Structure 1
Amino acid sequence: MLCKITRILYVLTGFLMLVSCNEYQKVLKNEDTKPKYDLAEKFYNEGDYKRANRLFEQIAPKFVGKPQGERVQFFLADTYFRIKDYNFAGYQFERFVKSYPKSEKAAEASFLGAKSYYLLSPRYSLDQTDTDKALVKLQGFINSYPDSEYLPEANTMARELTTKKEKKAFEIAKQFTKLGKSYFLDYNVSAIAALDNFISDNPGSVFREDAYYYKIQATSVLAFNSTEDKKQERLEDAKAAYETLIRYYPETKYLKEAQEFAERIEEELKPYTKQDNATK
């Protein structure tokens, strides 16, 4: 009995899908706007965003300047978002906000447009053009709608994207440090410059402690392998880098490694300290 009911349900479901598909194809070819609008809204409400999107796409130009234009434009943008076509979603939400800045849906559209670009942001190691665009859009939303219910999520996304950009900048500087340690001494000069820029440009970064430590490493390796005429000055720079890390992070996770560098720095500075004392 149960198997028979299940078969009937399958047949009925298949029949309804066939009817729906035939109706969709028929309306799609119809020149009349109203049945397209009605069916598009029906599909939207049922969660069939792909077919709703195609219908809204067809009728949207015909509703420009009309009372229902606002509703159609929002649905069109939202269906792009729901089917994960975030490039078109971002563009369409931007158009909606520009066309209907006083709409009760303006805040939501602005947020979803920014979120579309956020969802296009790639992993940190790739080009961050979309990340930059997303941050601009999110900041625009945050500034325009400070009381929005979407504000907490917007702030979270903005922090995440900022951290992603910081990670990319830090990893580049860190890579210079690794190359300087393993291959070419001159890479340490680039590492120090990149780390200094990172620390200056990102004062609140979660990678700030790491940057201070890698600066110790880069300045130390450069100093230890320097010619005599540059060695003392570079050792002093390495010592200053160590003192800076300890000042800001006295219980740093790099304490053991940093102290090992500091001990060798002090050892290699001893001859110069004696010379300085002798000349006084």
Structure 2
Amino acid sequence: MFWKIARYALSLGLALAILSCSEYQKVLKETDIAKKYEFAERLYGEGDYKRANRLLEQVAPQFVGKPQGERVQFFLADSYFKIGDYNFAGYQFERFLKSYPKSDKAAEASFLGAKSYYMLSPRYSLDQTDTDKALTKLQLFINSYPESEFQQEANAMAQELTTKKEKKAFEIARQFVKLGEYFILDYNLSAIAALDNFISDHPGSVFREEAYFLKFKAATNLAINSTFQKKKERLDAALAAYNNLLRNFPETSFSDEAEKLMSTLQKEIDAYKELEILAK
């Protein structure tokens, strides 16, 4: 009995799917725009966004300047978002906002347009053009619609993208530090400059503590391997980097490594002082 019911349900489902597909193909060729839009809205309401999108693309130009135009344009943009075509979704939401800036859907369109670019944002190591655009759109939404129900999600996305951009800048600096272990002069100087810029440009970054530690590490490596003429200046700079780390992060999680480096640095300072005395 169970299998008979299952087969019947499957047959009914297939029949309905074939009927729906046949009806859709018929509507695609329909010249009556109102019928096309009515069917597109029905598909949209049923969650069949791909087929709804195709019909909405056909009818949207016919509704420009008409009372239904606002509704059609929003459904078109949202159907692109729902099927994961975020490039077109972002573009269509921008068009919607330009055409209907006072719409009741303006806040949602602004948010979904920004979210479209958020969805396009690549991993941190790649070009961040879409990330920059998403951040600009998210900030515009946050500033324009402070009471929106989407504020919390928008702020979370903006923070995630900000951290991604910080990570890209931080990883470049960290790579210089690694290279500085083998190519002492050039890469340690580059690492120190990059870390200084990072610390200055990202005062609230989650990578800030490690940036201070890595600057101390690069400065110590540079100082230890410097010529006598430049050694004092660089030893002083390394010591200053250590003090900056502790001043900003007294309970730093890098304390063990920092203390080992400081021990090495102190030996170099003491050795330099002895050489300085002998040189007099």
Same fold? TM cut 0.5:
yes
Displacement after TM superposition at 1:185 (Å): 3.1
Partner in structure 2 of residue 204 of structure 1: 204
Secondary structure in structure 2 of the residue aligned to 1:146: coil
The separation in 1 between residues aligned to 2:202 and 2:55, in whole angstroms, is 47
- After TM superposition, the structure 1 = structure 2 runs for residues 48-197 of structure 1, keeping only pairs within 5 Å, are 48-197=48-197
Partner in structure 2 of residue 222 of structure 1: 222
Secondary structure in structure 1 of the residue aligned to 2:220: helix
Q: Which amino acid aligns with 2:133?
A: K
The separation in 2 between residues aligned to 1:239 and 1:29, in whole angstroms, is 78
Displacement after TM superposition at 1:162 (Å): 0.2
The separation in 2 between residues aligned to 1:209 and 1:16, in whole angstroms, is 61
1:52-109 CA distance string (max 9 Å, x none): 0000010000000000000000000000000000000011011111110111000000
Q: Which amino acid aligns with 1:52?
A: A
1:44 aligns with 2:56: no
Q: Which amino acid aligns with 1:116?
A: S
Displacement after TM superposition at 1:35 (Å): 1.1
Gaps spanning 5+ residues in structure 2: where? none
Displacement after TM superposition at 1:194 (Å): 0.3
The separation in 1 between residues aligned to 2:251 and 2:207, in whole angstroms, is 16
The separation in 2 between residues aligned to 1:37 and 1:202, in whole angstroms, is 50
The separation in 2 between residues aligned to 1:255 and 1:264, in whole angstroms, is 14
Partner in structure 2 of residue 22 of structure 1: 22
Secondary structure in structure 2 of the residue aligned to 1:31: coil
Displacement after TM superposition at 1:267 (Å): 1.4
1:216-262 CA distance string (max 9 Å, x none): 11111111111111111101100000000011111111101111111
The separation in 2 between residues aligned to 1:236 and 1:271, in whole angstroms, is 14
The separation in 2 between residues aligned to 1:168 and 1:88, in whole angstroms, is 27
The separation in 2 between residues aligned to 1:232 and 1:268, in whole angstroms, is 10
The separation in 2 between residues aligned to 1:70 and 1:264, in whole angstroms, is 69
Displacement after TM superposition at 1:182 (Å): 2.8
Percent of pairs identical after alignment?
A: 67
TM-score (structure 2 length as normaliser)? 0.97
Q: Which amino acid aligns with 1:76?
A: L
Q: Which amino acid aligns with 1:221?
A: N
Secondary structure in structure 2 of the residue aligned to 1:182: coil
TM-score (structure 1 length as normaliser)? 0.97
Gaps spanning 5+ residues in structure 1: where? none
Aligned CA-pair RMSD = 1.6
- Residues 86 and 117 in structure 2, CA contact (< 8 A), matched pair in contact too: yes
1:166-191 CA distance string (max 9 Å, x none): 00000000000000013443100100
Q: Which amino acid aligns with 1:216?
A: F
